[in-house]
A and B are shown apart, each in its own frame.
Chain A
Amino acid sequence: MLSPGLVAAIAFGYLLLLFAIAYYGDRRRARGRSVIANPYIYTLSLAVYCTAWTFFGSVGKAATQGATFLTIYLGPTIMAFFWWFVLRKLLRVCKDNNLTTMSDFLTLRYGKGTFLGAMVTLGVLLAVVPYIGLQLKSVSDTFNILVYQKIISPLTTPVYQDTAFYVALVLVVFGILFGARHLDPTERHEGMVAAVAFESLIKLLAFLAVGVLVTYGIFHGWGEIFGGISQDPKFRQLLQINTGAHDSYILIMVQTFLAMGAILFLPRQFHMAVVENTDEKHILTAMWLLPLYLLLINLFVMPIAFGGLLLGFPPSQADTFVLRIPLEGGHPYLALLTFIGGLSASTAMVAVGSIAVSTMLLNSLVLPLAIRLKLQERLPPYLLTIKRAGILLVILLGYITYRLIGPSAMLVDMGLIAFCGVAQLAPAILGALYWRESTKYGAIAGLGSGFFLWAYTLVLPYLVEAGMFPTDILEHGPLGLAFLKPTAFLGLTGLDVLSHAFFWSLFFNVGTFVSVSLLTASSPLEEEQAWRFVDVFELEEGMPVERRYTYLPNLDQFTRFMEKFIGTPKAAEAQQAFLRQVNTPEKEWGDREKLQLQSYVERTIAGSIGPAAARVIMDGYLSSLGSRMEGVFDLFGQVSSSLEESQQKLKRRVAELSVLYEAARTLTSTLYLPELIEGVLDLLVERLGVEKCSVRLLDEEGMLTIKSYRGLNHLAPITSVKPEIGSLLGQCLLTPQVISVSDTSLMGGDRLEGLLEEETMASFVLAPITTETLALGVLSAASSQKGYFAREHVEFFQSLAGQLGAAVRSAQQVAHQIRNPVHAIGGFAHLLLKKLPKDSDTRNYAEIIIKEAKRLEQMVREVIETSVIFVPREEEQDINQVVRGALGIIRSKIEEKHIDLKVELTENLPPLTMDVGNMKRVILQLVANALDAMFFGGHLRLSTAHQDGMVEIKVADNGKGIPAHMLPHIFDTFFSTKPSGPGLGLPIVHKIIVQHRGEIFIESKENVGTTVTIRLPTTKPEQ
């Protein structure tokens, strides 16, 4: 017999060997030469699926229930057919977002809230902890059998004499050494994977060795064993299935489904298959090699089980046949190998499982809680300690459950409870990957009801059996309500406990998940994530810029920020990795790269603290720096984000884009306005198949006249109308905004005034052609088909009309610039002509100059005449009203930044004649500038006064001020004091004030503040 010292020493030596392998694996990774980056190691690491439950429990189950145990391994084999479809997608999403647990996956997909993650974590913890207890039981039982030939019940031993307790402690050390030696943002532990892969090999070899011994050493092959069993009336029913509730077809189906879910959703499987994966192509090998591994490790289960029974071992000891047969058959060293095999199976499961669950605990429970308690600033130094404590907690909880309910349950039951528990994750995770309309509330309802019913119908009966709850609940239902009996919920009887629990939990889980998802709407954040998850394969490298921060820290600042969460070396690594990824030096970065950096940093820290916490911390960090988010209109981004549109629509979008592109080319290739407008209309007709379109421009009298058209009758140009605000045409021009009418029959006649009959037959779009401050005309397109112009066309026409406006404006400017020199050239040429003798060659040249100059003048005149400045709408208004109105719009932003606002308005000011909308814009722009200049609180003063026939408005801040050398350029277009930003604000302000015959002054001193003064005349403008 084997001495306790020898067995313990060999076990300890084996663990040391594993650690050496892990150390080697980590060293190799550090040098960039991964040992695990091959599909065979990947497959072996996935074999962490086979725990002590497989190693010992399968035989136990085969000896009592026959072939049904195979479903646990046939399920993953069937699932392997779906891996390329499901696992690959899961993998891609997780790698793209640096997700390291399933709770993080669900948290990110369903809107980054903390509740869902916490619920998932608690559910998974409840499922996995007894499973870990089971492994402890297995190691302790096999050790005791090997040494003392008997199982020692924990009920009769104090903790300090309990082998399982010491096993638990060793495993805690093992788990920490493997999984939490340092912080890693990717949560990858190559050393551990290498060790687990090695263990998978050992457990397979050990099991095959016992199998060969029993089948061919003790018996003479399969035939003898099966023959013996079929002769024995006590055991012959083991050769068939569906002989009772314990091996019914329903149970077989349920177990197959559970195993299919378990191979993907058990925390350790998710960790190995997704987090530790190095290349998605490895799936293609693992998908056949893992089933082969499972087949091999199960090949001798039935021979060992039936052999044990034939040898006279009692079925109650079937869980340990693998050990007892060689031990009592005189092969103690083979028994020792078996023990090591079982030890491999247990330690691998506990190490990976506890690391995965402790990461979940940290990311989804501890950190969100810390953030709620506002402790996030103090947390970073303790992250590693918390993680280690998590591993300790998970394993010790496993030990406690083992002591409480372990002895009453056979090995297999605990495993199936865990399988059924994690199966609750399946609907939410699959919904996250494939169903865009699934919502957070749907997921919460589904997971909540699923976990609850699982716990109620499956876990509770075991707790009752273990004596933790009165048996009344099982016999008569809670409070005597028979229809709520956990094992016959709503009166459903005739099923075994597992099938019953499976049915009810998933019935409610799927039902509420789908129905609540359909009844609730997802938040914009969820919608964005849904698109990123569901269409992960359609995403291209460059994500569209849809938002931007007013200010983002630079790479070094971000690196220092990351250091707090992942340590200095890893942060430096991440910095380098990012630079490689963008492949552009920091100096040349635009908005896209900066935004990429921000999301990269968020993803990186999400790897160690989870997406929910990462988002809160990132938001807090940015807002502490005075940054806020703003939307960016990006037509290309819009196109890629609406990929779900039908192909038809997509084609139209592509055509639209090409029109915009061509239009941009036409607009830059000519300054001659009529040619330009013709070009744009041609594009609309040829590329987009627009039936009728036209461009109307304002003339000097403020009348809209059709300048060019396609598909309309020839009388069109004669009609010219005055744009009234009551008509759509006027509304479009004066507000200005794009107007799309999908069915003209629903419109009143006066609203359509000014439009041609042909244009108003069914549907049309009107887009204002404007420059920054002026309305120039209207671009229209019409169809004789109702609803031809969809919502997204609005954006397109807005863009196109905007381009036209810009072109008109630049043409105008160029024309003004050219006009005087051309006059001069013409004039001087005339003078020359007079002084030159007749019939000389030189005289000919001068005539040519005059002729050409006249032609040029004519062209310039045309350009200027076709684009007349539109007079703004003026009305009499009290300026104080305007100031109050503007403040009402921006007040929330002022409060958000904790800025002390003082408003000193002088009452009874004379009313001013002005364009109220534009004036409000001026005030808003000035206040916004002041806010931008003040980072951390500050004073903002707004005042109005009346002086020398002028009304004075002052906006003063004590922000960072404007450097003296920049002051003279402050009103230049495209000049900006900010490092980023278009620089259009102050020039527009200037223009509007000049239009109102006013004056604007800026006084500013760096680090003292800026005061902007506007003076407007109280006299009425001349008519």
Chain B
Amino acid sequence: MSPAMTKKDKLLVLLGILGLFLLNYPLLQIFNCEYMSFGVPILTWYLFGIWVLAIIGLLAFGHLISKEYKAQTTYGE
């Protein structure tokens, strides 16, 4: 059993809130311009970049939490 949220759980929630900020006005405004890089608009780079970072972050946290999460609860048959 893991009753209360661990610090890692809280950090994960914090990152989610950060993601919400990164993908909304006003931070979005910074990248909303005509500038293109390697033929692709900077906004597209930015959105997909955040996406990739989020996936990496989630992957890392998933691994960390599953290591600590001993008490498995299986809902089989």
The answer to whether A and B come from one shared complex is yes
CA distance A288 to B40 in the complex (A): 26
Residues of chain B contacted by A227 (CB below 8 angstroms):
36, 39
Q: Mark B9-41, 1 if CB is under 8 A from A, else 0.
A: 100110111011001110011001110101111
CA distance A577 to B76 in the complex (A): 11
With beta carbons under 8 angstroms apart, the residue of A34, A285, A295 that contacts B76 is: A34
Residues of chain B contacted by A222 (CB below 8 angstroms):
39-40
Residues of chain A contacted by B63 (CB below 8 angstroms):
284
With beta carbons under 8 angstroms apart, the residue of A74, A82, A287 that contacts B23 is: A74
Residues of chain B contacted by A240 (CB below 8 angstroms):
32-34, 41, 43
B38 touches A223 (CB 8 A): yes
Q: Is A1007 an interface residue (CB 8 A)?
A: no
Give the most central of B17, B32, B56, B77: most A CB within 10 Å. Answer: B77
Chain A, 27-49, CB within 8 A of any chain B CB = 29, 32, 34, 37
CA distance A280 to B65 in the complex (A): 12
A37 touches B76 (CB 8 A): yes
Known: A79-B16, A538-B3. A74 touches B51 (CB 8 A): yes
With beta carbons under 8 angstroms apart, the residue of B3, B33, B47 that contacts A67 is: B47
B36 touches A78 (CB 8 A): no
Distance in angstroms from B45 CB to nearest chain A CB is 10
Known: A37-B76, A285-B62, A537-B2. A81 touches B19 (CB 8 A): yes
Which one of A248-256, A654-662, A870-878, A998-1006 is at the interface?
Answer: A248-256
CA distance A287 to B15 in the complex (A): 13
Residues of chain B contacted by A279 (CB below 8 angstroms):
72-75
B1 touches A537 (CB 8 A): yes
CA distance A577 to B36 in the complex (A): 62
B24 touches A253 (CB 8 A): yes
A226 touches B39 (CB 8 A): yes
A252 touches B5 (CB 8 A): no
With beta carbons under 8 angstroms apart, the residue of B9, B54, B69, B75 that contacts A78 is: B54
Distance in angstroms from B4 CB to nearest chain A CB is 8
B34 touches A239 (CB 8 A): yes
Interface size class of A (residues with CB under 8 A): 35 or more
Residues of chain B contacted by A77 (CB below 8 angstroms):
19, 51, 54-55
Distance in angstroms from B21 CB to nearest chain A CB is 10
CA distance A77 to B54 in the complex (A): 7
In the complex, residue of chain A having the shortest beta-carbon distance to the beta carbon of B65: A284
CA distance A242 to B33 in the complex (A): 11
Main secondary structure of the interface of B (DSSP, over half): helix
A281 touches B72 (CB 8 A): yes
A81 touches B13 (CB 8 A): yes
Q: Is A224 an interface residue (CB 8 A)?
A: yes
In the complex, residue of chain B having the shortest beta-carbon distance to the beta carbon of A73: B51
A223 touches B39 (CB 8 A): yes
Known: A67-B43, A84-B9, A288-B59. A295 touches B52 (CB 8 A): yes
In the complex, residue of chain B having the shortest beta-carbon distance to the beta carbon of A240: B32
Known: A84-B65, A223-B40, A256-B24. A32 touches B77 (CB 8 A): yes
Residues of chain B contacted by A280 (CB below 8 angstroms):
73, 75
Chain A, 238-281, CB within 8 A of any chain B CB = 239-242, 249-250, 252-253, 256, 277-281
Residues of chain A contacted by B75 (CB below 8 angstroms):
95, 277-280
Distance in angstroms from B39 CB to nearest chain A CB is 3
Q: Is A370 an interface residue (CB 8 A)?
A: no
Residues of chain A contacted by B62 (CB below 8 angstroms):
284-285, 287-288
In the complex, residue of chain A having the shortest beta-carbon distance to the beta carbon of B60: A288
CA distance A221 to B39 in the complex (A): 9
Residues of chain B contacted by A224 (CB below 8 angstroms):
39
Known: A256-B20, A291-B55, A292-B55. A74 touches B74 (CB 8 A): no
A74 touches B47 (CB 8 A): yes
Q: Is A697 an interface residue (CB 8 A)?
A: no
Known: A279-B75, A280-B73, A281-B69. A241 touches B43 (CB 8 A): yes
CA distance A227 to B38 in the complex (A): 10
With beta carbons under 8 angstroms apart, the residue of A284, A288, A302 that contacts B69 is: A284
CA distance A226 to B28 in the complex (A): 20
CA distance A120 to B48 in the complex (A): 36
Q: Is A422 an interface residue (CB 8 A)?
A: no
CA distance A605 to B47 in the complex (A): 47
B76 touches A278 (CB 8 A): yes
B19 touches A67 (CB 8 A): no
Residues of chain A contacted by B39 (CB below 8 angstroms):
221-224, 226-227
CA distance A249 to B13 in the complex (A): 23
B3 touches A537 (CB 8 A): yes
A288 touches B36 (CB 8 A): no
Distance in angstroms from A91 CB to nearest chain B CB is 8
Distance in angstroms from B42 CB to nearest chain A CB is 10
CA distance A826 to B53 in the complex (A): 93
Q: Is A80 an interface residue (CB 8 A)?
A: yes
CA distance A449 to B23 in the complex (A): 30
A82 touches B16 (CB 8 A): yes
Residues of chain A contacted by B51 (CB below 8 angstroms):
74, 77, 291, 295
B19 touches A70 (CB 8 A): no
CA distance A292 to B13 in the complex (A): 19
Distance in angstroms from A359 CB to nearest chain B CB is 18
A252 touches B3 (CB 8 A): no
With beta carbons under 8 angstroms apart, the residue of A29, A239, A250, A256 that contacts B43 is: A239
Residues of chain B contacted by A382 (CB below 8 angstroms):
none
- Which 6 pairs from chain A and chain B are nearest by CB? A223-B39, A81-B16, A249-B25, A288-B58, A288-B59, A284-B62
7 contacts between A and B (CB under 8 A): A78-B20, A80-B58, A226-B36, A230-B34, A242-B25, A291-B51, A291-B54
Given A78-B20, A230-B34, 14 other A-B contacts at CB below 8 A?
Answer: A74-B50, A81-B57, A82-B12, A82-B13, A85-B12, A227-B36, A239-B41, A239-B43, A242-B29, A249-B25, A277-B75, A281-B66, A285-B62, A577-B77
